[in-house]
Amino acid sequence: MMGKACIVEVRDLTKKFGRLTALDKLDFDIFDKEIFGLLGPNGAGKSTFIAVLTTLCKPTAGDILVKGLSVTRQAAKIKKSIGFVPQDIALYPMLSGLDNLKFWAGIYGLTGGERKKRINEVLEIVRLEDRAKDRVETYSGGMKRRLNIAVSLLHQPELLIMDEPTVGVDIQSRKYILDAVKDIRDKGSTVVFTSHYIDEMESLCDRIAIINKGKISSIGTVEELLHNYDKNNLEEILLGLFDEGKTEIFH
């Protein structure tokens, strides 16, 4: 049987901050066109992993290959095929959502009919069509996050990376964001996102990696994880894994 195609290959990846080992010899693959979730408590190393994957931060040892390109040696090339949704992006509050998208589309080199078509597509994905002409300063936090996602999708990235995209957003925006993740996968991209919410990971992810203290405790489909640990749900697994450390987790 042929193995699944990989878009991301994490190889013996270590990141240290002084004496603290934030990522400890991670070694795993992310498959093409899957929703891959990195689930773990605060301080587990999720954002550090995302920072290395998006080439914002250099590893101490090891490497990540994105479509065969090294984050340490070929960062500029990698940036073209990834979309990254940070917690905050430069949005102009006085401009409408639409004008913000036009601005970013210009930066990505989109023009004319192509620009219009693409902007309409991304607005639809995040369900902001109706509010596109309103100023961003009138948006809720969740709507701003959705606009961030729309911006990150303009150049049709093959790999979309989001760090805790649903933290601090209202219920409706959370639903729209999770629906958008599915939609983006179904349209043929790979989505990697982090969360400390078990329920959204369980229902949405094709595969999940559980990370704690810089190490991957387990990786697989929800069914595989439940089977491996002989548990009925993810919460039971996580409570078992993190019991000893008394880590405060998972609201």
Ligand X SMILES: Nc1ncnc2c1ncn2[C@@H]1O[C@H](COP(=O)(O)OP(=O)(O)O)[C@@H](O)[C@H]1O
Among 9, 14, 28, 43, binds ligand X (CB under 6 A): 43
Categorise residue 12: left if φ over 0, alpha if ψ from -120 to 50, beta otherwise.
left
Q: Which is nearer to ligand X, 114 or 248 (CB)?
A: 248
Contact region for Mg ion (CB under 5 A) — 43-51, 79-87, 119-127, 166-174?
43-51
Contact region for ligand X (CB under 6 A) — 29-37, 44-52, 135-143, 243-251?
44-52
Binding mask 46-65 for ligand X (x = CB under 6 A): xxx-----------------
Shortest distance in whole angstroms from residue 134 CB to Mg ion: 30
- Distance of alpha carbon 198 from the chain centroid: 15
Q: Which is nearer to ligand X, 110 or 198 (CB)?
A: 198
* Partner interacting with residue 45 (select from ligand X, Mg ion, none; CB below 5-8 Å by kind): ligand X
The sheet carrying 190-195 orders its strands as: 82-85, 159-163, 190-195, 35-39, 207-212, 215-220
With tokens 């042929």, the residue in question is 2
**Cβ contact 135:95 at 8 Å:** yes
Whole-angstrom Cα Rg for the chain:
18
Q: Is 47 in the site for Mg ion (CB under 5 A)?
A: yes
Shortest distance in whole angstroms from residue 49 CB to ligand X: 7
Q: Is 40 in the site for ligand X (CB under 6 A)?
A: yes
Q: Which is nearer to ligand X, 39 or 122 (CB)?
A: 39
Shortest distance in whole angstroms from residue 118 CB to ligand X: 31
Q: Which is nearer to ligand X, 105 or 249 (CB)?
A: 249
Q: Which is nearer to ligand X, 42 or 138 (CB)?
A: 42
Q: Is 42 in the site for ligand X (CB under 6 A)?
A: yes
Shortest distance in whole angstroms from residue 193 CB to ligand X: 12
Chain positions contacting ligand X, by CB under 6 A = 17, 20, 22, 40, 42-48
Chain positions contacting Mg ion, by CB under 5 A = 46-47
